[in-house]
Amino acid sequence: MTLSSTTCCPPYLNRVEPQRDRQGRPVVFISRLNRNPWEIQMPSRSFVLVLVLAVAATLTACSTSVAATTPPPALQPTVRSVPTSEPIVPTATQPQPTLPPGPAFEPATYTDKVAGFEFDYPVGWYVGPVEQYSRGGITAFTSWERPTDVLPDEIPSGGTRLDVVVQMWDPKGDLDAFIQQRKLAWDASGTPADPQEEWTLSDGRAARSFLIHGADGSMSYVFVTTLGEKYLTISGYGDLSQLAAIAHTVRPIPSGE
């Protein structure tokens, strides 16, 4: 059986006039409009290329947008460690003992070897007389010239007088009781006393001082301490600061020297 050209070609192909190429072979053209409807149509290469370029452009734009909206990481400051030296600790120095200041005058020394004490007084003062009694004795010192065989009477203007009394009193060697008795006597005579200082002598015995208000408005200085069973009283008028400086030089010595 001989097939015709119509039978050889499926009905969905349209036959066209054959054309020949340069070698004389027939060329068959297939119409795009009459393709097989069951045939899966594949996209052309140009279409795929355009699609790839479009996707790439979209991804580039998205990445650019994300990069533009993402803030750059904050810069962290660089901290340099500076070596620190060890703190300088000052070397503690041992405190030096504070020596009591010397008297503000050129001193001469009065010594009572029997009672066992001595003190300094200004050079040029007049000393005497020394009068003894049954329960003690008194020695007078003045800053002005006078006879030293009698006790001074009045104090000239600018003058200073000092009386040193060593006496027995009951109870013996009890400074607090002795001061209490003296206060009672001062108050009874209308000459109240103001306590001034308390300190200890070089051998540890206590010493105290007072300012006495005279009935005539004058002021006097009184220093008291013990001498074994006895009592030492230094009192005076005039330059009270100088009298206090003299009292601070009182120091015990072994009695009988």
Predicted confidence at residue 136, as pLDDT, reads 92
Predicted confidence at residue 104, as pLDDT, reads 85
Distance between CA atoms of 181 and 170, rounded to whole angstroms?
10
In the chain, what are the domains? 107-252 (3.40.1000.10)
Query: Distances in Å between the alpha carbon of 80 and those of 74, 77, 83, 87, 127?
Result: 19, 10, 9, 21, 83
Q: Which residues contact 245 (CB under 8 A, 6 or more apart)?
A: 103, 104, 105
pLDDT string in tens for the chain (257-residue length): 444 444 444 444 444 455 566 666 655 544 444 444 444 444 455 544 545 455 455 545 544 444 445 555 555 555 555 555 555 555 544 444 344 566 789 999 999 999 999 999 999 999 999 999 989 999 999 999 999 999 998 899 999 999 999 999 999 999 999 999 999 999 999 999 999 999 999 999 999 999 999 999 999 999 999 999 999 999 999 999 999 999 999 999 987 65
Q: Which two tokens stand for residue 7?
A: 């039978």
**Total-model pTM:** 0.61
- CA-wise closest residue to 250 among 217, 224, 229: 224
Question: Per DSSP, what are the bridge partners of residue 27?
Answer: 19
Report which DSSP code applies to 104. Answer: S
- CA-wise closest residue to 234 among 210, 205, 256, 204: 210
